[in-house]
Structure 1
Amino acid sequence: MEIVRIGLDLAKNIFEVHGVDAQENAVLRKTLRRDAVAQFFADLPPCIIGIEACSGSHYWAKVFTDIGHEVRLISPQFVTPYVKSNKNDRNDAEAICEAISRPSMRFVPVKSAEQLEIQAVHRIRQRLVSDRTRLVNQIRGLLAEHGVVVARDISRIRHALRQIADGTYAQLGDKMVDLVCDVREELCELDHRIAAYTKRIRDLFRSNEMCQRIGRIEGIGPITATALVAAVGDRTCFKNGRQFAAWLGLVPKQRSSGGKSRLFGISKRGDRYLRTLLIHGARAVLRKAGGKSDARSLWIERMRDRRHPNVVAVALANKNARIVWAVLSGRTEYEPALSA
């Protein structure tokens, strides 16, 4: 039995395996428990193994690669069209096996242990920031019911909470003041935890040479640089900078037919977190570009004359993404004079 390609459907405890030979005949259909997976694949000759990109996929990619197999991670959205009939784990494994055989298929970069650690720091910090945003929105809504309206700026809410705790707002009852004091303590704790994770990211930035190189690009700071390095594993997965920008969702969505080309807003595919960081970084560059005479600032000013500022910010984020790919793939230094 010669197996050339396997589709593996991951789960917590029960894994489905579907394998084909060189003639595309199904020669392996098997259900494995988690503790038997590593040994089963260790006994097989080297082949291509396809896995949906999900929780645990990078771990299993490393396990199978160490054994000698070639692993291809694929986005679940690209597997769905190949599912036949009803959806179940066995059919999913067959669909994965079929999808990874397509010559034009795009795959998810496999991350190293260091990248996963950096990404974990970002994910926890991102969750803490979301928790803080929810807390601020909740207390603003509760205060509005008592006639205390606070601007959305987080520094304003901190100032207002301090004043309420000091007894400045007489219209608030004792119970409401006690609640505000509790919220203020919780907000302070979240601020301290976010600051601690931000410091970790800055330490990672200083200790990583790849982060240092792309951190020299205008609009990319320590947080964006480390997030990009954590997300981009094997840079050979992208043929060029445009493909990398498309992977980030920074290219127009296209619906063309009958020879008519129709372009819409950006596709917003890929990692929303990375895309948000790049666009926010681009907005910061736009605010400082006025009055400068370098090539990039002049390009920005020309774009501003004919397009909306949001469009210019996305265009600059797209440009930065392409520069990041060029710097990382070529292992070269960033040269501002060539970035316009």
Structure 2
Amino acid sequence: MTIPTWNKTDAGVRITRIGLYVNLVMAVSKGIGGWYFNSQALVADAFHALTDLVSDFMTLGTVAFALRRPTEKFPNGYGKIESLGSLGVSSLLLFGGIAMGLFSLCPFVIFLSSFLPSFLPSKAWGRLTDGMGWGVTGYTALIHLYADFFAGGDLPEFLGHAHGHSHSHSHSDLGPNVNAAWLAAGSIVVKEWLYRSTMKIAEERKSSILASNAIHHRIDSLTSIVALVAIGGSHFLQNASYLDPVGGLIVSLMVINAGWGNTRAALMELVDVGLDDEIKESVRKASDKALALRQERLSVRAVGGSKSGQNYLVELTVEVPIGTTVRSTRALEEVLRGVVGAEVRGVKRIKVRFVEEGTDVLNEFVFKEENVSAQVEEHSHKH
């Protein structure tokens, strides 16, 4: 991926690239370690790390692109590109959490089947419990349900092989090697550090895409904890198989909550929701500080604007004394832009509107009511 030279030193780009490299190394190490130590939890975690690379690439690409300077074609900059990327990453988080929750619920649904036989048709329950009884995971169960509820749902041939060898005593029946726990523990430490580092930058810049990517790191840390408990439980506890789905369900609820919050924030940015109260207050304080440098009677009447990625596009309405000249407002605007831009992080554009004290602010929107009335009148004449 080509990144402009002036973006390479950006903190958001740098921490995202570090996360990408870490995910790649962890996917390989967990995959090899899971195979060598016979840990299905680690192998699953390795595949999860590979899917996180998609999130890393999306974050890296959009953050780097959004840092480009405004052009004539994009006068407000490229911040909305980051908002789009944030929507994609947070949607992955949201739907991934839902999928994780559904998968974690499978064992509980099977348990409840003995108490709620009418919940699904008997044939479906037979298929489901038969698949799980043979030691086949939720994938087989879901495929069996698909075959029962949807016409023409053919089962893959490899499922027959899974049934045919389910009672053999292979190396996998011995359980995972306890040494696999070291890989899971190491993943927890590294991923938690990545989460804290990425979230720190995200909070400083109010970046929803960096926040979503940070939560991906936190989820990896939590899933590694689940893997660690599953590995340890298989050695030190009896009948500890319930720990994995319980942990997965808890993690999935956290993922869904975080994913929905970030998805909603990204959608709000895309539809140009107004600035939050915290930013407005910061802009107002900085503006008051700038106006205090002048000897005239000046005050901030209104603060508005919108968010575009990491950028704040601010609109100020400033009240000036009657008779103020355009030349003097030019100097005042330069002072406002300099002070607010320096004191409020993320402000990339400031539009200032000056109004004389005691006068109403004109509405910027154009409502052509006369055209609407004419169209209604013309329509009534036709009938």
TM-score by length of 1: 0.25
Larger Rg: 2
Question: Taking CA–CA contacts closer than 8 Å with sequence separation of 6 or more, which of the two structures ends up with the larger relative contact order?
Answer: 2
Higher helix proportion, which one? 2
TM-score by length of 2: 0.23
